[in-house]
Structure 1
Amino acid sequence: MSGALWDDPIAPPAAPDLIVEADGGSRGNPGIAAGGAVVLDATTGEVLVEVGVYVGMASNNVAEYRGMIEGLRAAFEREPASVRVRLDSKLVVEQMTGRWKIKHPDMQALAREARELIAGRQVSFEWIPRAQNARADAAANSSMDRRESFRRDLAAELGGLTGAGRRGIRG
């Protein structure tokens, strides 16, 4: 598979340009579901984009994939050299790195979509504890509460003068 995948905290790769924190939730599992993501400037920690993607009736794992995919799309619009994806779903991290098989057909299709999106790009995956994923969780919950998708481009709201923009990453 093209696209570099990494999730070994002992020997990290060079620092990424952007970080995507993604999460998904379902009220009922399956139930009302949404994914959420934030795109961060890896150097400053500034939130550049916040997205919530309303999925409808689905599992939390399907919602997690949707949040990750939308977060990656938002990150790639900025043309970064590398992206680190941080998720609190061990399942999605292990599936995206190829260590665990994907048995559910819905998740197979989503994993294929994600892999096509990252093909030829420098992307790493990292599992994080749920407590460290509060921003993406809040975006997913906001989308579930509203029952609609949303996107906030905070870099544009700030006039594009974020740390990323100052370093040549499209803001």
Structure 2
Amino acid sequence: MPAHPGRVIVACDGASRGNPGPAGAGAQIVDDQGSVLAEVAEGIGETTNNVAEYTAVIRGLERAHELGASDVLLRSDSQLLINQLTGAYRVKTPHLQPLHRRARQLAAGFAAIEFEHVRRERNTEADRLANQGVDAWLAARRTSR
């Protein structure tokens, strides 16, 4: 893996079973050759799908910064999220506004960033990671009782 990968693709997804319900955030970062550089699977407690989607973006962009990426293509199957990140839609829900600000702050730290809405079928790895996060959170909750 190069010290500074340059352009990376960050595929993100959030999952919430019940909405609100047990939730997870997943992100996969790949280089322009398709090699996996990093994966994130995080259980985030009981929350909504939109909070999970934003958390996935934030964790994915944080990891891309850690890897030294300068140019990012961020992919998500949430059209609402992509439209909010590009400014096409306003973020009206108060509890999403701080998450939106954090995602935009992280995005501004790259030399270049693009946002792309993809069909669910093209986001399977991020979906797998988000669900892995939910499963890990549920398992930890069961063992702590």
**Greater share of helix:** 2
Deviations 1:97-131 (A, max 9, x none): 00101111121110001111122421110000000
TM-score, length-scaled by structure 2: 0.87
**What is the alpha-carbon root mean square deviation over aligned residues?**
1.2
TM-score, length-scaled by structure 1: 0.74
Q: Which residue of 1 aligns with 2:123?
A: 133
Structure 1: gaps spanning 5 or more residues: 1-15, 149-171
Give the share of equivalent positions with the same residue, in percent.
44
Q: Which residue of 2 aligns with 1:103?
A: 92
Q: Which residue of 1 aligns with 2:106?
A: 117
Give, in whole Å, the separation in 1 of the partners of 2:57 and 2:50. 11
Native 8 Å contact 2:42 2:132 kept in 1: no
Q: Which residue of 2 aligns with 1:35?
A: 25
Q: How does 1:38-77 map to 2 (within 5 A)?
A: 38-42=28-32, 44-77=33-66
**Letter of the 1:103 counterpart:** K
**Letter of the 1:59 counterpart:** T
Give, in whole Å, the separation in 1 of the partners of 2:55 and 2:109. 20
Query: What is the aligned residue count?
Result: 132
- Aligned residue for 2:67, secondary structure, equals coil
Runs of 4+ in structure 1 deviating by more than 2 angstroms, as ranges, are: none
Give, in whole Å, the separation in 2 of the partners of 1:61 and 1:28. 12
Structure 2: gaps spanning 5 or more residues: 1-5, 139-145
